């Protein structure tokens, strides 16, 4: 099987690692930083992916790159339409996000109506709708908080907290803002399993519902770092919509289709970093 991974950020890099044993050929693209010698530079908004693929048949195209922060919705629509047209005949695996929901009640299911309230969320919906309309053979997968080590590097979210802890700074995280964290390693494993299956549709790829404060504390505990400076506070009155207070997702479908059960935060960090010799040898101690 020939596949393409558009974008080699943390998730794209982990997908590459997991796909290597099962694919005959992997076409890689990057926008700014070339992590792999064979990766080809590709600008989603100005380049035509057909120029990268040439006459080569690509069975499955993975799209984990961050294109949804584009402020011009028409520009995004045109670029996504051009991309999907060039990929006609390939299976499309589009990585969306929990940001497509409004965050008003949480534990969203795949069939719940999207009601985006942010530019990012509206762009996610644009991309999801285009994938459904242009690719009969598609997988739309929605992660929530992604965390862990990829290539020996810690994700930016926990790495920022780790850096601030080292400086002795006070860190505030919300106790009433909820996500569904899943490690990059398990997220990639689930995406690969679903991509290689016959499943067509939308699935949430996520862990269990957890407050941002609890996620941050458990992450620091697992890394062996002090949490005295980590403070939990509630979202200020009247600003819950601004922060998308609860975009947690259900994962029943993921568990049914893949047989995977989400790790807790410590397991996710241990499982994604070879420097953890075992559960008792914690990073930073």
pLDDT higher at 284 or 106: 106
Work out the average pLDDT over 156-167: 95
92 lies in some domain: yes
* pLDDT at residue 279 greater than cutoff 50: no
Query: Which SS3 state, helix, strand or coil, does residue 142 take?
Result: strand
Domains held by the chain: number: 1
CB neighbourhood size of 19 (10 A)? 20
Q: What b/e sequence results for 44-82 when a residue is b if at least 16 CB atoms lie within 10 Å of its CB, and e otherwise?
A: beebebeebbeeeebbbbbbbbebbebeeeeebbebbeb
Q: b/e map of 190-216 (b: 16 or more CB within 10 Å)?
A: bbbbbbbeebeebbbbbbbbbbbbbbb
Tell me if 226 is assigned to some domain.
Answer: no
> Is 260 within the bounds of a domain?
no
What CA–CA distances, in Å, run from 193 to 33, 244, 252, 258, 276? 27, 30, 15, 6, 26
**pLDDT on residue 273:** 78
Which residues, other chains included, contact 266 with Cβ-Cβ below 8 Å and sequence gap of 6+? 218, 221, 222, 279
Q: Which residues contact 192 (CB under 8 A, 6 or more apart)?
A: 15, 18, 19, 22
41: CB partners within 8 A, 6+ apart: 29, 30, 31, 34
| Domain interval for residue 77 | 2-145+183-204
Return the closest-CA partner of residue 93 out of 237, 196, 223: 196
Judge whether 254 lies within some domain. Answer: no
- State the CB neighbour count (10 A cutoff) for residue 166: 11
Angle, alpha carbons 131-133-203 (nearest 5°)? 50
Phi–psi pair at 214, nearest 5 degrees: -65, -40
- pLDDT 10s digits, 39-95: 999 999 999 999 999 999 999 999 999 999 999 999 999 999 999 999 999 999 999
Residue 154 in any domain: the answer is no
In a domain, 172, yes or no: no
| Residue 110 pLDDT exceeds 70 | yes
Regarding beta strands 138-142 and 201-204, do their DSSP bridges make them parallel or antiparallel, or are they unpaired? parallel
Average pLDDT over residues 164-178: 95
Backbone angles phi, psi at 70, to 5 degrees: -65, 125
- 8 A C-beta contact, residue 269 and residue 219: yes
Take residue 16 and report the two structure tokens written for it. Answer: 């590459």
pLDDT digits (tens, 9 = 90+) for 196-251: 999 999 999 999 999 999 999 999 999 999 999 999 999 998 887 788 999 999 99
Q: Could you tell me if residue 81 is inside a domain?
A: yes
Measured in degrees and rounded to the nearest 5, phi and psi for residue 104 equal: -85, -25
- Residue 25 forms part of a structural domain: yes
The greatest distance separating any two alpha carbons of the chain, rounded to the nearest whole angstrom, comes to: 58
Q: What is the pTM of this model?
A: 0.94
Q: What is the CATH number of the domain that holds 134?
A: 3.40.50.720
Cβ atoms of 279 and 285 within 8 Å: the answer is no
Q: Are β-strands 210-211 and 25-30 bridged in parallel, bridged antiparallel, or unpaired?
A: unpaired
CA-only gyration radius of the chain, Å? 19
With 60 as the cut, is the pLDDT of residue 252 above it? Answer: yes
Q: What are phi and psi of 110, to 5 degrees?
A: -60, -35
């Amino acid at each position: 099987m020939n596949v393409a991974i558009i974008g080699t950020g943390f998730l794209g890099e982990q997908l590459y690692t997991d796909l290597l044993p099962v694919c005959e050929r992997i076409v890689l693209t990057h926008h700014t930083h070339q992590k792999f010698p064979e990766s080809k530079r590709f600008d989603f908004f100005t380049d035509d992916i057909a120029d990268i693929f040439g006459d080569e048949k690509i069975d499955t195209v993975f799209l984990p790159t961050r294109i949804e922060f584009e402020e011009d919705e028409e520009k995004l629509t045109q670029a996504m339409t051009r991309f999907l047209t060039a990929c006609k005949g390939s299976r499309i695996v589009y990585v969306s996000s929990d940001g497509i929901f409004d965050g008003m009640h949480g534990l969203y299911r795949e069939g719940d109506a999207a009601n985006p309230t942010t530019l990012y969320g509206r762009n996610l919906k644009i991309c999801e709708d285009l994938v459904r309309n242009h690719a009969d053979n598609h997988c739309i997968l929605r992660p929530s908080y992604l965390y862990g080590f990829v290539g020996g590097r810690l994700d930016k979210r926990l790495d920022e907290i780790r850096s601030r802890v080292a400086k002795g700074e006070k860190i505030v995280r919300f106790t009433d803002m909820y996500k569904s964290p899943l490690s990059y390693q398990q997220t990639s494993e689930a995406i690969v399993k679903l991509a290689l299956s016959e499943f067509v549709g939308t699935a949430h790829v996520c862990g269990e519902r957890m407050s941002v404060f609890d996620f941050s504390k458990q992450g620091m505990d697992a890394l062996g770092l002090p949490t005295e400076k980590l403070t939990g506070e509630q979202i200020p009155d009247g600003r819950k919509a601004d922060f998308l207070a609860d975009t947690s997702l259900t994962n029943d479908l993921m568990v049914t289709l893949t047989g995977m059960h989400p790790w807790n935060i410590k397991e996710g960090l241990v499982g994604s970093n070879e420097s953890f010799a075992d559960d008792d040898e914690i990073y930073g101690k």
